Chains A and B, each alone.
Chain A
């Protein structure tokens, strides 16, 4: 999404509700079954990644359900993460609240307002399809303000279905890893293509 117009003055800044709420799951199959199948929330996007945030950040699958009105509920599944040994810093960056703005100007203006108020805030960080700034509230809750770099499309939803199907399969097998998830996903893509072309 291209930026337009002049920079937004701080005193005119508004937010457009919640972009996504993020939580951690240890049971992706039950989570997908609950939100997608029982509640009927569309699964619209999934990203898989190695630990790029820091050296000891675990491999993960991060998937998003649409809540309506542009809002999303997101979950992280971390590989090799015992439920009773969850490291605090990992939960901190996972259980965050992301607020939505539309443009780069608004994102930068919000950053300016936060800095002017003496709040430590990160530079804008571009992910795959969003760009965000991060900061903490006084309670240690991580907040994020994010703008879309593009809208989710049908291709993202179809890809997300394959990602969580692959994740579910490897978790069921009892020794899940991101490598196994990627390899299972390649099998599912090939099988679907075979089915669709015959």
Chain B
């Protein structure tokens, strides 16, 4: 299971649109939107939102659990 917390402020909201994993679910956890996969990786594809550098490279600022398999200019992939 991979989990990503996204702070619920305007500049990070677009990150939710970039989640491409079929199994991802979201729920509000305090100030954050918690994105979780029951199984399989949690993937964010930057092309879907065209995020600015400062926002994209701070995408994990809310914290995550799991293993970071990839985080580069185009894809963020968290695995179990």
Chain A residues within 8 Å of B, Cβ to Cβ: 46-52, 125-129, 149-150, 153, 155-156, 158-159, 162-163, 166, 179, 182-190, 192-193, 196
Contact = CB atoms under 8 A, between A and B. Distances in A.
A155 B56 contact: no
B22 interface: no
B interface, by DSSP: helix, strand, loop or mixed? Answer: mixed
Contacts, number: 81
Contacts of B10: 150
The 6 closest A-B pairs by CB, nearest first: A185-B63, A186-B63, A52-B57, A127-B54, A48-B61, A49-B58
Interface string B3-21: 1010111111000000000
Q: Size range of the interface on B?
A: 20 to 34
Contact of B9 (A52, A156, A189, A190): A156
Nearest to B54: A127
B31 A166 contact: no
Given A52-B56, A52-B57, A128-B54, A186 B8 contact: no
Contact of A186 (B5, B12, B58): B5
Nearest to A51: B57
A180 B11 CA distance: 24
Given A159-B62, A185-B5, A185-B62, A190 B68 contact: no
B22 to A, nearest CB: 22
B39 to A, nearest CB: 18
Contacts of A183: 63-65
B68 A47 contact: no
Contacts of B31: 155, 158-159
Contacts of B11: 128-129, 149-150
Contacts of A125: 54
Contacts of A51: 57
A111 B11 CA distance: 24
Interface string B48-74: 000011111110111111001001000
